[in-house]
Amino acid sequence: MNLDDARQKILEAVDSNFDAQLATTMDFVAIPSTRGAEGPCQDMIGDLLRRRGYEVDDWHIDPNDLKDLRGFGPIEHDFSKARTVVGTYRPTREAGRSLILQGHCDVVPAGPLAMWESPPFSPVVRHGRMCGRGACDMKSGTIAALYALDAIKHAGLKPTARIHFQSVIEEESTGLGALSTLQRGYRADACFIPEPTSGKMVRSQVGVIWFRLKVRGHPVHVFEAGSGSNAITAAYHLIHALQKLEVEWNDRARSDRHFKTLVHPINFNPGIIKGGDWASSVPAWCDVDCRIAILPGWSSPTVKMKFSPAFRRPRAITTFYPTTRPRCSGPVFCRKAMS
């Protein structure tokens, strides 16, 4: 079979299985696999792989096995049910180059339900698009990769090298699922991650640092607020300082060979804010969970050092600044940038 014929047969196989692919995607999206609740997704992938004859490796992730590896991020939630599932295809005689196909099944929280047009875990197809939490990021990609392998088989072709189909968790946070596959020994000549990023092939990706600002103020009754120190107001100034750091880092990104054409590759996000105990008390505390991106080659210790000047600035500009210096603390981790 020449290349054009093979291509045509694969495309026909994709088309003839597309309804089944769509149904499987819907079942997968319907599983509310937020952080810590990915088990049923991993069960489903394990079943899909076994039914297709892959050799399935399904294991519990023990953070102790990973804690000394580069790229490890600390875990604060119950990890007793955390698993990785890998299905392996082995040709009878190995030739050519091996491949890893990797998808993550964890999804971020759905947010306010009232803002959804349809329930987040009851996927529907509207105007040619599937709507549901995780449909785009990235359950449709994972199932598409599985059905792409099916299409190759149905076209009467057989890959001539090893393929590892991997379903991981923790992609939206520490990346420990992907790290666990490396610790387990999985390697290949290439890895393809079918995340739908504007429909483009992406060869370089930002890393992520999560950190928590812990601001402590001086609590007094509101009638003498001027003698206290308001932790929430101080946190506001720290956020502002970090936004300025974000501008500086985006300027720096203009000299990066992969990111120089992008308008705003470094994004800082204060994602969760908690603080204070009473509307009439000057708040003694404020914690802000934040995320900022880094580019390949930026090491996390260097980046953390760069936070310090940002934290010093508010002292000069506000009398509300707390008596104790804010701390930047855990969970702090860095998901490595790649290129």
What's the token pair of residue 14? 């994709």
Kindly tell me which of 82 and 138 has the beta carbon lying closer to Zn ion. 138
Nearest Cα neighbor of 290 from 183, 195, 211, 179 is 211
Stretch that binds Zn ion, among 14-22, 51-59, 110-118, 129-137 (CB under 5 A): 129-137
190 and 283 Cβ atoms separated by less than 8 Å: no
Between 195 and 287, name the residue whose CB sits nearer to Zn ion. Answer: 195
Q: What is the CA radius of gyration of the chain?
A: 24
Is 246 marked active-site? no
At position 209, the amino acid (one-letter code) is I
Minimal distance in Å, beta carbon 175 to Zn ion?
11
Site for Zn ion in 192-211 (CB under 5 A): 195
Query: Closer CB to Zn ion, residue 32 or residue 159?
Result: 32
Catalytic residue among 15, 58, 68, 171: 171
Smallest CA-to-CA distance from 82 within 107, 104, 63 is with 63
Question: Is residue 62 annotated as part of the catalytic site, yes or no?
Answer: no
Closest by CA position to 231, among listed 215, 220, 244: 215
* Non-local CB neighbours of 170 within 8 Å, separated by 6+ positions: 35, 82, 104, 106, 176, 177, 178
136 vs 161 by CB, closer to Zn ion? 136
Binding positions for Zn ion, 176-195, rule CB under 5 A: 195
Distances (CA, A) of 282 to 238, 270, 272, 311, 314: 18, 22, 20, 21, 18
Chosen residue from 138, 149, 152, 266 binding Zn ion by CB under 5 A: 138
Indicate which residue of 38, 106, 170, 246 is catalytic: 106
Task: Choose one: 43-51, 133-141, 206-214, 236-244; the region binding Zn ion (CB under 5 A).
Answer: 133-141
- Nearest CA to 195 out of 323, 80, 338, 73 is that of 338
One of 137, 256, 287, 289 touching Zn ion (CB under 5 A) = 137
Q: Which is nearer to Zn ion, 172 or 287 (CB)?
A: 172
Does 29 help bind Zn ion (rule: CB under 5 A)?
A: no
Instruction: Report, as residue numbers or ranges, the catalytic residues.
Output: 106, 171
Give the binding site for Zn ion (CB under 5 A). 137-138, 195
